Amino acid sequence: MIHLHGVSKTYPPDQTALRGVDLKVSEGEFIFVAGASGAGKSSLLKLLFGAEKSSTGDVVIGGRNMAAVGLDGIAELRRDIGVVFQDYKLLPRRTVLENVAYGLEVLGVTQRERNRLALLLLHAMGLNDRADAYPVTLSGGEQQRVAIARALIRKPRMILADEPTGNLDQEMSKRVFDLLLEANSAGVTVVVATHNLSVIEQLNKRTVVLDRGKIIGDFSHAGRIRQ
Amino acid sequence: MIPASSQPERASIGLVKIWGEGQVGSRVSLLSFTRHILRRALGNLRRSPVTVALSVVTISVALFLLSTFTLLLHNCTLAVSREGGDLMVMVFLKDSASKSDVERLSGEFGRLMPGGKVAFTDKSAALKNFRSLLGEDAAMLEGLEKENPLPASLDMQAVSPEQAEALYAETVSRFQGEPAVESIRYSRGGVQQIKKILSVVQTAGIAGIVFLLIITGFIIANTIRLALYGHRVEIEIMELVGARRAAIAAPYVIEGLFQGVLGALVAIAATFALFGALKSFLAQADALTAVFPSFQFLGAEQLGLIVLAGAAVGMAGSFLAVRRFLSEG
């Protein structure tokens, strides 16, 4: 699903975010990318959904080398990727229902079809009574679940989450990760960037540790990280 | 921290069931897509009325200058054409010219200008015309009846200034030096001068207006760019969910189109008001009424072109702004 080979990323004038990263992630895998702030986690995720191009090396997603993919190709690729951010990135002037359905709206999916799917997801997440509310009236946990619902609505092949629980308490964090785990159980590849070691240890999944842009560890189970 | 082994069971939300079989969201329709684009365009217009008004005013000022210039040029051209239609090429004949010479030359001149008229003015008619031209001073011509110095002439009236021009050139090249011909005259001087000035004004004016429209396009581009910064979160989310660039840009281009057309309509309305004022002014000024006997407003074709210019400037400005904004990432 994901294959990074010798990937480096340097921002002008000379700020190096990633150095010689090699990484393989199989389809249907759940993987944490851990590291302190500034370790290169967000830069790595940006390469994965085509927001940035690597300075050197190859980034291959679903068999396609990102260096050779044009802008419309990246747009097409993103239809298979759900992205979740710490700051939710919801549209403030749209209702919860419209936010969830937005990924289908921009593609021209009929209103009936997109609302049907969005309502099903909101109902399943216990947010159906907030469908007509605006994001600003929701708690942080609710907003993040709405963002995840938007990412899930198109049955993505991969979800990329950048510090998805960074602003949430433990209970809300758990609910968010429950959703990501269920998506993973349904066959979705999940990549979560986080600096929260306790979350990583709780879920006990494969974890790649970054430090100053380099991979310093790739652990099949979180239990071995502290060792 | 909760140990993995003691974590409570996760309650499934039934994602697989929700997704169901086949491709999720496969019911795509062009109508839904168009509705989405138009909804965003309308939302953008509603969200920033001041910015929209500024763009419309900018476009209408530029197009008002364009349409006023076109209006004046249009009427000057009409006036010159009208004047030019009366132009005559006059071939003065020697006293020795015989009746057969007159008939032969009349026939040849008639063939040179299809649709035009050839009239013969004999010596006595020429004197009579000259007398009426002099009016009260005609007394000074007393006694000239016996030794009339004025020549007979063949007066050729062309159907257009272009025909008169060609006729004069042809007549000079073929008949200058003919035994029966004294001289050839074409009183075009003043009108030709005006035509040349009009031509220069037209070229300079068009260049100025094109420059003005380009500047307007850049102003629109910057106005839309400001609006784009206001919508950057929405654009970022659209990019994240896989919207194509054309789908992201389309609402802004529609917004530019709307602003351009509205600006053009405002400009046309203002020009029409100016036209009304000019027309009533001309009606009171006798000297100008003679030059512009029927001061006309712009035709449908010219008005259509002004609206098109507004639409093009609005759309091009928006397109440039979006393209630049998206490439800045």
Give tens-digit pLDDT for B258-298. Answer: 989 999 999 999 999 999 998 888 877 766 666 676 778 88
pLDDT tens-digit readout, B194-251? 677 777 877 887 888 788 778 877 877 887 777 778 788 888 888 888 888 888 889 8
pLDDT in tens, B61-104: 888 988 888 888 888 777 766 655 456 788 999 988 888 999 99
Q: Kindly list the residues from chain B whose CB atom is less than 8 angstroms away from the CB atom of residue A106.
A: 36, 238, 241-243, 247
Asked if A113 and B18 come within 8 Å (Cβ–Cβ), the reply is no
- Smallest Cβ–Cβ distance between B10 and the set A103, A107, A181 belongs to A181
SS3 of residue B243 by DSSP: coil
**Taking CA atoms, what residue in B is nearest to A125?**
B13
pLDDT of residue A190: 95
Q: Indicate which of A78, A89, A105 best probes the interface with B, i.e. most B CBs within 10 Å of its own CB.
A: A105
How many contacts, defined by CB atoms under 8 Å, are there between A and B? Answer: 114
Chain A residue numbers touching B19 (CB-CB < 8 A): 155, 186
Residues of A in contact with B10 (CB under 8 A): 178, 181-182
Confirm if B84 and B66 have CB atoms less than 8 A apart.
Answer: no
- Collapsing DSSP to helix, strand or coil, A95 comes out as coil
Q: Which helix (H) or strand (E) holds A150?
A: helix A140-152
- Reported as a single tens digit per residue, the pLDDT across A87-133 is 888 999 899 999 999 988 888 888 888 898 899 889 888 888 999 99
Q: What is the rounded CA–CA span in Å between residue A152 and residue A118?
A: 10
- According to DSSP, residue A109 is labeled B
Q: Cα–Cα distance between B236 and B69 in angstroms, integer?
A: 44
Angle at Cα A128 formed by Cα A123 and Cα A131, nearest 5°?
135
- Are the Cβ atoms of A186 and B19 closer than 8 angstroms? yes
Residues of chain A with C-beta less than 8 angstroms from the C-beta of B18: 117, 120-121, 124
Chain B nearest-CA distance from A25, in A, is 21
Distance from the B219 Cα atom to the nearest Cα atom in chain A, whole angstroms: 27
pLDDT greater than 70 at residue B112: yes
CB atoms A106 and B1 under 8 Å = no
| Range list of H helices, chain B | 15-19, 30-47, 49-85, 99-112, 123-134, 161-175, 189-230, 232-240, 245-284, 286-291, 300-328
- Chain mean pLDDT for chain B: 80
Instruction: Give, in order, the Cα–Cα distances in Å from B134 to each of B138, B139, B144, B151.
Output: 5, 9, 14, 17
Residues near A43 by Cβ (< 8 Å), separated by ≥ 6? A9, A17, A18, A52, A213
Alpha carbon distance B8, A187 (integer Å) = 22
A178 → chain B, closest CA residue? B10
Greater model confidence, B256 or B142? B256
Q: For residue A103, give both structure tokens.
A: 């990924």
